[in-house]
Amino acid sequence: MNGSRDPAPVEPPVTLTIAGSDSGGGAGIQADLKTMEAVGAFGTSVVTSVTAQNSLSVESIHPVPVEEIEAQIEAVGSDFHIQAAKTGMLGTASVIELVATHAAQTDTAFVVDPVMVAASGDRLLPPDAADTYVELIAEATVVTPNADEAEILTGIEIDDEASMQRAGEQLLDIGATAALVKGGHVGTDGVTDVFVTEDGTQTFEHPRVETAATHGSGCTLSSSIAARIAHGEELSTAVATSIEFMGRAIRYHLDVGEGPGAVHHLAGLRERAARHPTQEAVESVVDRLVEADARAIVPEVGMNVVGATPFAESASETAAVEGRITRIESGIRPNRGTRFGASSHVARFLLSAREHDAGLRFAANLRFDEEIEAALANLDAPVVEIDRSNEPTPDVEGSTMDWVAQQAFGDAAGAKAAVFDRGDVGKEAMTRVVAPDARTLSDRVRTILDALQA
* Banded model confidence at residue 288, pLDDT cuts 50, 70, 90: very high
Q: SS3 of 110, please?
A: strand
For residue 219, give the DSSP letter: H
pLDDT at position 406 is 85
Rounded to an integer, what distance in angstroms lies between the CA atom of residue 306 and that of residue 188? 34
For residue 326, give the DSSP letter: E
For residue 410, give the DSSP letter: S
Rounded to an integer, what distance in angstroms lies between the CA atom of residue 24 and that of residue 14? 25
**Which H or E run includes 191?**
strand 190-197
Q: What is the per-residue pLDDT across 349-380, written as a single tens digit (0 to 9) for each? A: 999 999 889 999 999 999 999 999 999 999 99
Q: What is the per-residue pLDDT across 155-202, written as a single tens digit (0 to 9) for each? A: 999 888 899 999 999 999 999 999 999 987 676 678 889 999 999 999
Residue 45 forms beta bridges with which residues? 17
Q: Would you say residue 324 has pLDDT above 70?
A: yes
Rounded to an integer, what distance in angstroms lies between the CA atom of residue 6 and that of residue 9? 10
The residues, any chain, with a CB within 8 Å of residue 163's CB and separated by 6 or more, are 156, 157
User: What single string gives the DSSP state of each residue in 364-404?
Assistant: EEEE-SHHHHHHHTTSSS-EEEE-GGGPPPPSSTTHHHHHH
Rounded to an integer, what distance in angstroms lies between the CA atom of residue 83 and that of residue 109? 7
Do the beta carbons of residue 273 and residue 316 sit within 8 Å?
Answer: no
Q: What is the per-residue pLDDT across 208-263, written as a single tens digit (0 to 9) for each? A: 888 888 888 999 999 999 999 999 999 999 999 999 999 999 999 999 999 899 99
- Helical axes 161-174 vs 147-154, angle rounded to 10°: 50
For residue 63, give the DSSP letter: E
Q: Which domains does the chain have, with CATH numbers?
A: 14-272 (3.40.1190.20), 274-453 (3.40.225.10)
Do the beta carbons of residue 437 and residue 361 sit within 8 Å?
Answer: yes
Rounded to an integer, what distance in angstroms lies between the CA atom of residue 216 and that of residue 26? 5
Rounded to an integer, what distance in angstroms lies between the CA atom of residue 73 and that of residue 311? 37
User: What single string gives the DSSP state of each residue in 231-263?
Assistant: TT--HHHHHHHHHHHHHHHHHT-B--SSSS-B-
Q: Would you say residue 396 has pLDDT above 60?
A: no
Give the gyration radius of the chain's Cα atoms: 26
Q: What is the per-residue pLDDT across 47-90, written as a single tens digit (0 to 9) for each? A: 999 999 988 888 999 999 999 999 999 999 999 999 999 999 99
